[in-house]
Amino acid sequence: MLQHSKPEERLALELSCAICLQLYRDPVALPCGHNYCLGCIQNAASAEDPKSPKRCPECREEYGSLETLPKNFKLSSIVDGFLVATTGGGLRGGPTVPCDQCLDNPLAAVKFCTRCEINVTITYVKSNRSTPVLMTYSYVVVNRMSTVMNDELHSRDKSWQANLCDLEGCLHQLQEAQKCTGEVISQSSEFLFIQNYLNVEARVRQAANVTIPALPSQESSNAKQLRSILRTDAFRSEMSLLLEYLHGMMNPLDLTFNPATAHPSLLLSSDLKTVKQCAGVKSSTAGDQSERFSTATQVMCTQGFSTGVHMWAVEVGPGCMWSLGLCYKNIPRKGDHSRLGHNTSSWRLQWKSKKLTACYDSANVAIGEGLVMPPKKVEVTLDYEGGTIAFHSSGQGGRRQHLHTFSAMFKDTVYPAFAIHSTSEESWITLLSGV
């Protein structure tokens, strides 16, 4: 029954509390990953034996005090955006946005470049060769298929045109899907993303499951190539990444620091969400000393990733000098080569001495030219199969600025890793519940 419902109904179900079956109100996240309305989980807890440990209504995993449950701000924002999008509000029909690159007589912008964080015309889109990762996954794949089909149609003589009529219909579907996916992934706000997603989800799914018609027996090599490309699972898997991205937004990662890896001078909060460095203080955390960083003031997360697309965010103290990145579990634990980015087992973005740099295998690259103030909130996006690690700063109003992207071929599980290079009271890093 679910598969025949409207896209907005399916999304509403994803955004509904499992207790009251209504859209989330003040959602909170349990350690197990399930989300509930604050009022609903409070009522559920009060109905249980006060002497028994509190458990998740769905998976029955224990959790601590209700007062310590973090509010899922990202999920709350998505619900608000969904309500606006489905009640006739929004920005449709609003004023046009001028292109940020046109100095004289600016034209109307047709897209938002997610890498450069500017509104641009189609000319700028064509000239910008640094395609963002999500654009690479959907827009480019559809575009490649459309190009092949166009070449095939124009290479056939009149006797073939009738036989390729069905393929032309498929081409039209793919071009529509290309346009739809391009509009969706180019949005810079959650509200516009949800609004466009609801409008195009059905068409994208239909294109992803298109049945390719048979061609005449005497087909050219181009036609064989066309059929080979379209009959693979690549197109369907690329389209599904849009749905995976939305799922990731509604199910933020709940990362925690791994005490067994923390340098002795690093202090972790009781919930393992905040870390700070205190000179001359030794951590009393027990654990296998072989896992602990002994030279660099670093710590890894307990959670690692070996597949998929994942996003997380951290907030850093105003006086903090820091490094953020990823590493393999086999990263050295002592010596100069144990520092993030100074080996082939890690990648890092660093703010130190009022400079922002990126580093891998000891090769430092200066980025963020002219950046005076350090980012207060940094988002990290890992695409394991795509081989990218992207860093963005997040400012007021949710505006994101691209900082740097690493390209890599991952060979093992990677873990989020962090370092603090200063000891002031305002030097700390906090893992956020969502992005």
Give the pLDDT score at 139.
Answer: 43
Average pLDDT over residues 5-33: 84
What residue type is assigned to position 219 of the chain? E
* Residue 138 in this model has a pLDDT that exceeds 70: no
Domain with residues 259-431, CATH architecture = Sandwich (2.60)
What residue type is assigned to position 150 of the chain? N
Give the pLDDT score at 93.
Answer: 36
Residue 391's pLDDT band, with cuts at 50, 70 and 90, is very high
How many other β-carbons are positioned within 10 Å of the β-carbon of residue 200? 20
Q: What percent of the chain stands above pLDDT 90? A: 31
Number of residues that make up the chain: 435
Q: Which of 28, 9, 6 has its CA nearest to residue 17?
A: 28
Is the CB of residue 347 less than 8 Å from the CB of residue 389? yes
* Residue 344 in this model has a pLDDT that exceeds 60: yes
Average pLDDT over residues 403-428: 93
Is the CB of residue 196 less than 8 Å from the CB of residue 9? no
* Residue 427 in this model has a pLDDT that exceeds 60: yes
Give the pLDDT score at 145.
Answer: 53
Distance (Å, whole) CA 338 – CA 295: 7
Give the pLDDT score at 414.
Answer: 97
* Residue 411 in this model has a pLDDT that exceeds 70: yes
Is the CB of residue 91 less than 8 Å from the CB of residue 266? no
Contacts of 109 (CB under 8 A, 6+ apart): 96, 97, 98, 99, 100, 119, 120, 121
380 SS3 class: strand
Which listed CATH number (3.30.40.10, 3.40.50.2000, 3.40.50.300, 1.10.760.10) goes with 2-85?
3.30.40.10
Q: What is the pLDDT of residues 368-383, one digit of tens each?
A: 776 667 889 998 989 8
Average pLDDT over residues 212-234: 54
Q: What is the pLDDT of residues 254-308, one digit of tens each?
A: 899 999 999 999 999 999 999 998 866 655 554 457 899 999 999 999 999 999 8
Higher pLDDT, residue 126 or 416 = 416
Give the pLDDT score at 102.
Answer: 53
Instruction: Average the pLDDT over each of 97-101, 176-180, 347-351, 428-432 and give the range with the smallest value.
Output: 97-101
Residue 389's pLDDT band, with cuts at 50, 70 and 90, is very high
Give the pLDDT score at 222.
Answer: 56
Q: What percent of the chain stands above pLDDT 70? A: 58
Contacts of 169 (CB under 8 A, 6+ apart): none
55 SS3 class: strand
Q: Any idea of the CA torsion for 131, 311, 403, 401, to the nearest 10 degrees? A: 80
* Residue 114 in this model has a pLDDT that exceeds 50: no
Contacts of 14 (CB under 8 A, 6+ apart): 247, 250
Give the pLDDT score at 11.
Answer: 81
Give the pLDDT score at 342.
Answer: 96
Domain coordinates of the chain in residue numbers? 2-85, 131-250, 259-431
